[in-house]
Structure 1
Amino acid sequence: MHFEVPKVKMHSLREFLQHYLMIVLSILTALGLEQWIEHAHHRHAAEYASAQINAELGSTLQDIQDAIQTDEKKLAPLTAIQQAVADDVKKGLPDAEVNRHIRELSGKFALSINWPAFNTQAWDVAVANQSATWIDVSRLHRYAAAYAALRDAASWTSHNATLALDAPRMVDLQTRINLGKDVDPVEFLSVLQQMINSSKGTVGYLRETSVPIKAALANTEK
């Protein structure tokens, strides 16, 4: 910021003080205007970033809820076949009879676990262009917690969601059943329990992930 001080002759102390005060007021006014413009820019940038983040989190939350509903729907047949075969085994039915029942229910013996894409683009942009630093602190903390949960969920689904599942055994059993071959009922129940646990674990993790997202979206008008 540059000011060109006018060159005038001072005829009295009063004129000097008036001229001095005029310069000071001009500088303060310019500085105040500059700060106001900068503050307005920051406020608009924070509002835009918040709107983008809210939209992204809202969409992700809906996708999580849809995935939970889908997983629970697909989990029900697995639970039903587990109950039926477990009852046969507890009754002491011959393996051949149990296998007949397994083949009748083989259409339910399928694992399908769903989870959404855990998008973080809006947050990444806000951090990169520093508009996140101008968002209200309490709201910023909620956003940070929500996106930390999303990153944890993305890592979990990539590496741990099916960690307890013996996929080769599952495929082997599915192949034998589809070919009409007998399987060991206890082994079948063991793999089936792995499938159920993996599905339930995913649903539970998705529910936990949705909690900080809901908190971040609550009272967004503040």
Structure 2
Amino acid sequence: MHLELPKMRLHSLKDFSKHYLMIVLSILTALGLEAWIEHSHHAHAGETANRQIRAEIQGNLDDVRSSIKANEALIAPLNELDTAVSQDIRDGAAAAVVNEHIRARRASFKLSVNWPTFASQAWDVAVANQSASWMDDVDLRRYSAAYADLRNASDWITHDSVILLNAPSMAALHTRIDLGAPVDPLEFVTVLRQMIHTSQEVQSHLHQLEGHLVHALAQEDAGKAHG
């Protein structure tokens, strides 16, 4: 900030007071203008970050919903296979008969789940350039929680999603079925239900995540409606 002070002779205390007051007002005006410009810049940065983050969360929400829909179709054949084989076992069907039914439906015996890749670039940039600090506190807390949920969900699918699945047994059963070798019906159903449970756990996490992301986007609109 630079001020050009007027050069003039002061002939009285009154002139000095006027001159002093003019200097003070000039300084306060310059400081106020500088503060206003800085505030406007921060407000614009916060609004831009808010808009970009909301768009990113909405994109993640769309991907979550697409995965949920895709997984519903992927789980259905597993459930149908479980229903058929379990009924055979309850009816006391011979192992050879159960194996025939298993081989007839062997294409359904596969674990396949859809999991989205979550974007976080807008949030990372807002944190890095500190524009997040100029957003509304309520929005900031809500968005921060949403991205924490995304990270936690990604960690779960990476490390814990198949914790209850006996992968070696599943691979062994696949091999025997593909080669036409008989399998133990009860062992088959046990592994099959592990696969179903794993798929259902994925769906459960996606549904929870869907609710959290909807909440992150909806609360701002609700707040504006009351404002």
What interval of TM-score do these two structures reach, taking the shorter chain for normalisation?
over 0.9
Contact 1:64 1:206 (8 Å CA) reproduced: yes
Aligned ranges 1:136-175 → 2 under 5 Å: 136-175=136-175
CA–CA distance in structure 1, aligned partners of residues 2 and 47 of structure 2: 32
Partner of residue 206, structure 1: 206
> Which sections of structure 1, spanning at least 5 residues, go unmatched?
none
Aligned ranges 1:94-113 → 2 under 5 Å: 94-113=94-113
Per-residue displacement from partner, 1:164-192 (whole Å, max 9, x unpaired)?
11112111111111111110001100100
Percent identity, aligned pairs only, is 52
Contact 1:142 1:212 (8 Å CA) reproduced: no
Q: State the TM-score, normalized to the length of structure 2.
A: 0.94
1:5, CA displacement in angstroms?
Answer: 3.5
CA–CA distance in structure 1, aligned partners of residues 3 and 95 of structure 2: 97
1:198, CA displacement in angstroms?
Answer: 0.5
CA–CA distance in structure 1, aligned partners of residues 220 and 46 of structure 2: 13
1:2, CA displacement in angstroms?
Answer: 3.6
1:110, CA displacement in angstroms?
Answer: 1.1
Q: State the TM-score, normalized to the length of structure 1.
A: 0.96
Partner of residue 8, structure 2: 8
> Which sections of structure 2, spanning at least 5 residues, go unmatched?
none
CA–CA distance in structure 2, aligned partners of residues 212 and 141 of structure 1: 13
CA–CA distance in structure 2, aligned partners of residues 98 and 58 of structure 1: 47
> Helix, strand or coil for the counterpart of 1:147?
helix
Structure 2 residue identity aligned to 1:86: S
Partner of residue 182, structure 2: 182
Partner of residue 124, structure 2: 124
User: Does structure 1 residue 45 correspond to structure 2 residue 45?
Assistant: yes
Aligned length in residues: 222
Aligned ranges 1:21-32 → 2 under 5 Å: 21-32=21-32
* Cα root mean square deviation, aligned: 1.2
Structure 1 residue identity aligned to 2:185: P
Per-residue displacement from partner, 1:150-172 (whole Å, max 9, x unpaired)?
00011011111112111121111
CA–CA distance in structure 2, aligned partners of residues 214 and 131 of structure 1: 23
> Helix, strand or coil for the counterpart of 1:65?
helix
Per-residue displacement from partner, 1:19-57 (whole Å, max 9, x unpaired)?
111111111111111111011101110111111111111
Partner of residue 114, structure 1: 114
Structure 2 residue identity aligned to 1:124: D
Per-residue displacement from partner, 1:50-79 (whole Å, max 9, x unpaired)?
111111111110000000111111101100
Per-residue displacement from partner, 1:78-136 (whole Å, max 9, x unpaired)?
00100110110111111011101111111111110111012211111100100000001
